[in-house]
Each structure stands twice: as structure tokens, then as C-alpha cells.
Amino acid sequence: MRKGGTRAMKGMDWIWMAVLMTLTGFVLLRFVGRKSISQMTIPTTVIMISIGSIIIQPFIEKSIWKTIGSAFIIVMLLIIVEKLQIRFQWLEALLGGKSIPVVEDGKLNAANLRKLRMTVDQLEMRLRQSGYGSYKEIEVATLEPNGQVGIMPKPEHRPLTADALRKELSAYFDSKSARESDATDPPPLYRETTEGGHEKPVEDRLQ
């Protein structure tokens, strides 16, 4: 009976192996860094392929069902982790990371670039691709967990929105109406002939 139980436990080893290798993959990819997710260079591509090969190596079995079962467990673990990330913010920050500022108030944040292992040339390339020619045009730029650069330009460099255009046109036409109203009023000296009085108070003996 004991031999049968031991044999059953050994037969279930592939399940724990799938769990262990999935967690190992999370740790390795988190260590490699976020910029490799969307902007992979040749070295990082080779590393990613190698990591994938290493993770899947223990599952190479003669039994097709164990291979299918391992893949199913990995996918289910990914779905569970994604649901847990939605529920627990600390887990999302732990696995995916947070947005990290690389440009603040038009100035480069060199300390954060070093932490991210991103060169200035790489950042400048991303900014140029987004249509910016100077750090001074940017209020805040962040490297997002998905590897993309989020950019908030300074007010004077932001695209004109429909709401801003509406406000500008409203202010323009209001001021134009006020100017036209002033232009249609007769000058003070002529108004005195119809309304009486004077533009400025004068002594009684001079009226």
C-alpha cells in the first residue's frame, strides 16, 4: 500500500514542477526588467528564448498527456495571478511594477534611468518617436510597467482639445461683442446733447 502511495506521489510530481517553473519564470522575467517586454534588443531576445527553453525542459516527457496537463496548469496559474492582481494592488505592484518617472519638469531623472538600466540615447529615441524634440517640452515622462513611455507635455505644448478650443472661441467672441458695443455708443461729448450732463463733473458757474 505504501509503495502504491509513493508511486502515486511520484506520478503527481509534474504538477508541482509546473507550478514551480511558472513561479520561476515570473521571477526571472521580473529580474530581466520591463524594457525587454516591448523593446527587446538582440541580447534580451536571446535571453528570453533561453529562459523559455529552460522552463519547459523539465516537462519533456514521453507522455503527451503530462505535457498537455503542464501547459494547462501554466495557463490556469497565469489566469489566477491576473485575477489576484486585480484584487490586490500590492501584488500587481510586486509582479508588474509601477510607473517610474524618467523626466520631471523638463529635466532628465538620471537616477531612475540607472535603476531601469536604460541609456539616455534609448530614452531620447522613444521621445523622438513620440514627436518631442526637447526635454523642456515635457512636464512628466514615465516608463510604464508594459515597457512603454507615458508622456505628459507642458501646457503650452499640449494639443488643442475641443473643450479648450470652445473656451478660447467663447472668450474671443465675448470680447469682440464688448468692443463692438463700445464702438456703437456715441462719444461722450455727443451723448451730452441728448442725455444732458457732462462727461466729468464741472463747477456750476461753468455749466
Cut 0.75: pTM above it: no
pLDDT at 101: 93
- Domain limits, the chain: 2-96, 100-157, 162-200
pLDDT in tens, the chain (207 residues): 455 555 554 666 777 777 887 787 777 667 655 554 555 555 566 666 776 776 776 666 556 566 566 667 766 777 788 788 888 888 877 777 788 999 999 899 999 999 888 889 989 998 998 888 888 899 999 998 777 888 999 888 777 778 877 888 888 777 766 666 555 555 555 555 555 555 555 555 445
Closest CA to 71 of 22, 13, 8, 12: 22
pLDDT at 155: 83
pLDDT at 16: 79
pLDDT at 45: 64
Cβ atoms of 157 and 137 within 8 Å: the answer is: yes
Third-level CATH fold of 100-157 = CRO Repressor (3.30.240)
Q: Within 13 Å and on the Cβ side, how many CA atoms surround 92?
A: 13
Dist. CA 183–CA 177, nearest whole Å: 10
pLDDT at 1: 47
Closest CA to 92 of 138, 26, 46, 40: 26
Q: Sort 138 into a burial class: Cβ within 10 Å, 0-12 / 13-18 / 19+.
A: buried
